[in-house]
Amino acid sequence: MLTESIKIVLADDEENDRLLFTDALNELKTKTVIDTVNDGIELMDYLAKEAPDLPHLIFLDLNMPRKNGYECLKEIRALYGNDIAIAIFSTSMAEEDIELTLINGANVYINKPNSFAELKQALNKVVITAHAYQNTFFNKANFLLRV
């Protein structure tokens, strides 16, 4: 009944960011299984390959070459529905754009933190919340979080 670990995939075109992110997640208490991909096209290929054992949570960098976060967001919702939680991260977006991203199907918006400690804190909150939605009778349609 309880999902033991949260399956996570990160899509980010910068290797440094992918490393930081993976390190931060691995330092958290929560049990996670982490995969990374380098851009939007790799992400869609990854999801097609993993189906039906899809990840619980996708972290999407908005600005990627070949296929950006917005396009991925729309495609993922169209293909896989609302079961997968999607967290978008970006640097300094305007309020209206943040809300628009959430309206267009993202569950979480993360303002890219400046320090490793802040990154850990932000990811911790996202993962714990995703874990709660996975294991409690919360309505996933109401999963909205901004960190």
Partner 1 sequence: MILHITYDINTICKKILQEQLDKLDLKYTLNGVSEVEIKQPVSEEILNQLNAGLKEYNSEIVASQKSIMVQKIKEAIVEMVFMEDKLPSKTSTYLAEKLKQNYTYLSNVFSNVTYTSIETFILMQKAERAKQLMSTNELTISEIAWKLNYSSTAHFSTQFKNVTGLTPSAFQRIINGRRANKQ
Select from 33, 104, 116, 117 the one that contacts partner 1 (CB under 8 A). Answer: 104
CB of 33 to partner 1, least distance (A): 12
1 to 30, contacts with partner 1 by CB under 8 A?
A: 1-4, 28-30
CB of 72 to partner 1, least distance (A): 17
Omega before residue 113 within 30° of 0, cis: no
Query: To the nearest 5 percent, what fractions of the chain are helix, strand and coil?
Result: 45, 20, 35
Answer yes or no whether residue 135 interacts with partner 1 by CB under 8 A.
Answer: yes
Q: Which residue lies nearer to partner 1 by CB, 38 or 90?
A: 90
Q: Which residue lies nearer to partner 1 by CB, 41 or 145?
A: 145
Instruction: Pick the closest to residue 58 from 104, 6, 17, 114 (CA basis).
Output: 6
In this structure, are residues 73 and 108 in contact, taking their beta carbons and an 8 Å threshold? no
In this structure, are residues 85 and 47 in contact, taking their beta carbons and an 8 Å threshold? no
In this structure, are residues 27 and 127 in contact, taking their beta carbons and an 8 Å threshold? no
Instruction: Pick the closest to residue 93 from 110, 79, 78 (CA basis).
Output: 110
With CB under 8 A as the rule, give the number of residues binding partner 1: 33
Interface pattern 25-64 for partner 1 (x via CB under 8 A): ---xxx---------------------xx-----------
User: What is the number of other CB atoms lying within 10 angstroms of the CB of residue 14?
Assistant: 13
Answer yes or no whether residue 136 interacts with partner 1 by CB under 8 A.
Answer: yes
List residues binding partner 1 (CB under 8 A): 1-4, 28-30, 52-53, 99-100, 102-105, 109, 127-129, 131-132, 134-139, 141-142, 144-147
